[in-house]
Amino acid sequence: MAPTDSDWQGDWLKNQQHFWQSWANMAGQSGSNPTTIGSNPFSPNIGSNPFSPNIGSNPFFPNMGSNPFSPDWSQTLDQWWRLVSPQASDPVSEMFQRIIETGKSFNKLAEQGYSFGQTDGQEDLVQSWLDNMQKGFEDWSSQISTHKFSFNDNKDSSIPEWMGLNKGALEIWDTVANSIGLGGVPDIPGLDKGKVEISRLLKSPALGQWREHQQQLQNIAQLLIEFQEADQVYKLAFAQMGIRSIDALRQRLSNIGSDEEKVSTVREFYDLWVDVNEEIYSEFTMTDEYQVIHGDFVNALMALRKETNALTEKMYKALNLPTRSELNTINKRLQEQRRENIQLRNEIKKLASQIASKSEKKTEPTSKSQTTLRQDKDLAKIKGVGPKIVEKLHTQGIETLEQIAKMQLAELEKLDKKIGGNGRILRDQWGIQANQLLNQ
């Protein structure tokens, strides 16, 4: 049965305590008798620890060979992380991964410093570290310069592990390159990596039924070479920047002298190293040279990617599968249609509001005249009132039956005179008639 999480974690923690205790014990002894450590860098307790660090060689530092004093704290951290990471939720795991990666490069710095302290003595510790880092960059630089392109791998010019902190800066671009398809160069039939000699492929004339296909492959091969070259130039520039950073660090350290600035811990040294690197990096990436290198790298990668995409699409078509280009066409048309729809919707809205305001204007007078017409009809309901008298009533401001109904006798007499009614208003009892009509 598999151990539970708490079981193995408990065991692991115990082992870790042992591990660090042993290191601490040795450190204690080192002050009094450094040779003891040399002969036995690890206590027997550690031997039984399945997570005990790998001694005898340092894969993270190219020029140290197998150094018996070389600890491997970063790997220990890595092993611990591999065990606990399955427990972590996604965001925590991602962030902790970043802490671990940085922690490893910090540990490497400490490892290297510690190892040099053991072999070369405390005085020359930093000097040895600087010399080795410099040699690392120089070797890498010459490796890149002399590297011949091959379809087989890209390892010779890949970012070496020993770079630690510097690796991080370069890795971002490696990740970016991967995210935009560096790893996406497909296995191309006829371009079987490693088996086909690229120069032969490029030189052979494209003929016959497969002429177009062959030309495309030749084109990809050419672009691949161009990308490799751009990648080499890019990495070489970084290697040279690394050498400049070492120089700048030497300069900074020599300036430290005996006054204020003090470097007594790995952390302080790490911070100084970060500052120096950042400064040199920032200077370098703002040069015209970098602008060109960077652009060439991205452009070469994209040119290659574009061509391989086209080839992939061809294969999709042969299999009667939809392609990215077809989807793009649909998306493009759809977006144009959506834009048009929005425009039409806006126009319809505008037109609708124009129509609404126009019809409002029209209906207003119509409704007024209808009211007037109705009122005129009402007035004409009074016995003896015809259109002519209605007109005369209008000239006196009388529009409705209500107005007549509300009039007192004297007012009715006045109105009679004004319209020349010859007493008909009183005679025909318009006031009473109006009231009766209103009550109907």
Partner 1 sequence: MITMKPEEMLNEASNFNKKITEGFSNLADVGEIGSGVTPHDTIYEEDKLKLYHYKSDASTKKNPVPLLIVYALVNRPYMADIQENRSTIKGLMDNGQDVYLIDWGYADDADQYLTMDDYINGYIDRCVDILRERHNEEKINLLGICQGGTFSLCYSSMHPEKVRNLVTMVTPVDFHTPDNMLSHWVQNIDIDLLVDTQGNISGDLLNGTFLSMKPYELMGKKYIGVIDILDSPDALKNFMRMEQWIFDSPDQAAETFRQFIKDFYQGNKLISGDVVIGDKTVDLKNLTMPILNIYAKQDHLVPPAATTALKKYVGSDDYKEISFPGGHIGIYVSGTAQKTVPPEIGAWLSLR
The binding track of 312-351 with respect to partner 1, each residue x by CB under 8 A or -, is: ------------x--xx--xx-xxx--x--x---------
172 binding partner 1? (CB under 8 A): yes
Q: Which of 266, 380, 412, 426 binds partner 1 (CB under 8 A)?
A: 266
* Alpha-carbon Rg for the chain in angstroms: 47
Q: How far is CA 7 from CA 10, 13, 159, in A?
A: 5, 10, 38
Q: Mask 365-404, x = binds partner 1 (CB under 8 A)? A: ----------------------------------------
CA separation for the pair 74, 94 (Å, rounded): 18
Q: Does 353 bind partner 1 (CB under 8 A)?
A: no
Q: How far is the CB of 146 from partner 1 (least distance, A)?
A: 27
End-to-end CA distance of the chain: 102
Token pair recorded at residue 91: 């965001």
Q: Kindly state the tokens that stand for 213.
A: 């296909």
Contact pick of 44, 86, 257, 397 for partner 1 (by CB under 8 A): 257
Enter the tokens of residue 289. 């040279």
**C-alpha pair distances (Å), 254 with each of 14, 17, 104, 136, 403:** 43, 39, 27, 21, 111
Pick the binder of partner 1 from 14, 306, 358, 381 (CB under 8 A).
306
Q: How many residues does the chain have?
A: 440
Contact at 8 Å (CB) between 62 and 162?
A: yes
Q: Which of residues 178-217 bind partner 1 (CB under 8 A)?
A: 179-180
What residues numbered 62-121 form the site for partner 1, per CB under 8 A?
A: 71, 73, 76-77, 80, 84, 87-89, 91-92, 94-96, 98-103, 105-107, 110-111, 113-114, 117-118
Question: Token pair of 246, please?
Answer: 């070492």
60 scored as a contact of partner 1 (CB under 8 A): no
CA torsion sign for 117, 119, 48, 108 is positive
Q: Does residue 41 contact residue 68 with C-beta atoms inside 8 Å?
A: yes
Nearer to partner 1, 256 or 351 (CB): 256
| Measured distance CA(296)–CA(304) in Å, rounded | 12
Tokens 């129509």 found at: 355
Closest approach of partner 1 to the CB of residue 251, in Å = 14
State yes or no: residue 40 binds partner 1 (CB under 8 A). no
Minimal distance in Å, beta carbon 177 to partner 1?
A: 9
The least CB distance from residue 324 to partner 1, in Å, is 8
Considering only the stretches 15-23, 352-360, 362-370, 385-393, report the one whose residues sit in contact with partner 1 under the rule CB under 8 A: 15-23
Q: Look at residues 299, 111, 287 and name the one whose alpha carbon lies nearest to residue 223.
A: 299
For partner 1, the closer of residues 225 and 302 by Cβ is: 302
Give me the sign of the Cα torsion angle 235, 241, 245, 246.
positive
Task: Decide if residue 125 touches partner 1 (CB under 8 A).
Answer: yes
**Beta carbon nearer to partner 1, 174 or 376:** 174
Q: Which is nearer to partner 1, 324 or 377 (CB)?
A: 324
Report if residue 242 touches partner 1, rule: CB under 8 A: no
Please list, in sequence order, all residues whose beta carbon lies within 8 angstroms of the beta carbon of residue 46, skipping any fewer than 6 positions away. Answer: 18, 19, 22, 52
Residue 113 Cβ, how far from partner 1 at the closest point, in Å?
Answer: 5
Decide whether 191 or 304 has the Cβ nearer to partner 1: 304
Q: Any contact of residue 175 with partner 1 (CB under 8 A)?
A: yes
Site for partner 1 in 132-171 (CB under 8 A): 165, 168-169, 171
Helix (H, G, I), strand (E, B) or coil at 316: helix
Least CB distance to partner 1 at residue 231 (A): 16
Q: Is residue 270 near partner 1 by the rule CB under 8 A? A: yes
Question: Distance between CA 238 and CA 87 in Å, rounded?
Answer: 37
With 0-12 CB in 10 A as exposed, 13-18 as middle and 19+ as buried, what is 95? exposed
